[in-house]
Chains A and B, each alone.
Chain A
Amino acid sequence: QQQVKQSPQSLIVQKGGISIINCAYENTAFDYFPWYQQFPGKGPALLIAIRPDVSEKKEGRFTISFNKSAKQFSLHIMDSQPGDSATYFCAAIKRSRSEKLVFGKGTKLTVNP
Chain B
Amino acid sequence: DARVTQTPRDKVTEMGQEVTMRCQPILGHNTVFWYRQTMMQGLELLAYFRNRAPLDDSGMPKDRFSAEMPDATLATLKIQPSEPRDSAVYFCASGPSGTPSYNEQFFGPGTRLTVL
Chain A contact residues, CB within 8 Å of chain B? 32, 34, 41-46, 49, 89, 93, 95-96, 98-101, 103-106
A91 CB, min distance to chain B CBs, angstroms:
8
Q: Chain A residue with minimal CB distance to B40?
A: A105
How distant is the Cα of A41 from the Cα of B95 in the complex, in angstroms? 21
Of residues 49 to 63 in B, which have CB atoms within 8 Å of A's CB atoms?
Answer: 50, 55-56
Of the candidates B41, B56, B106, the one whose C-beta lies within 8 Å of that of A100 is B56
Asked whether, in the complex, the Cβ of A95 is within 8 Å of the Cβ of B102, the reply is yes
CA distance A15 to B65 in the complex (A): 44
Per the bound structure, the CA–CA distance linking A29 and B108 in Å amounts to 29
Across the interface, do B107 and A43 meet the contact criterion of CB distance under 8 Å? yes
Picked from B41, B56, B104, B109, the residue with its CB within 8 Å of the CB of A46 is: B104
By a beta-carbon cutoff of 8 Å, the part of chain B in contact with chain A is 4, 31, 41-43, 45, 48, 50, 55-56, 91, 93, 95, 100-110
Chain A-chain B contacts (Cβ-Cβ < 8 Å), number:
54
Q: Give the secondary structure class of B's interface.
A: strand
- Within the complex, the shortest CB–CB distance from A3 to chain B, in Å, comes to 12
Are A49 and B103 neighbours in the complex by a CB distance under 8 Å?
Answer: yes
CB of A98 within 8 A of CB of B56, answer yes
CB distance from A90 to the nearest CB of B (A): 11
CB neighbours of A104 from chain B (8 A): 42
Contacts of A34 in B (CB 8 A): 103
**A103 vs B105: C-alpha distance in the bound complex, in angstroms?**
13
Per the bound structure, the CA–CA distance linking A41 and B10 in Å amounts to: 11
Q: Is the CB of B105 within 8 A of A100?
A: no
Which A residues are CB-close (under 8 A) to B91?
A: 43-44
A99–B100 touching, CB < 8 Å: yes
- A sample of 23 inter-chain contacts (CB < 8 A) reads A32-B102, A32-B103, A34-B103, A42-B107, A43-B91, A43-B93, A44-B91, A45-B107, A46-B104, A46-B105, A49-B103, A89-B43, A93-B102, A98-B56, A99-B50, A99-B95, A99-B101, A99-B105, A101-B45, A101-B102, A101-B105, A104-B42, A106-B42
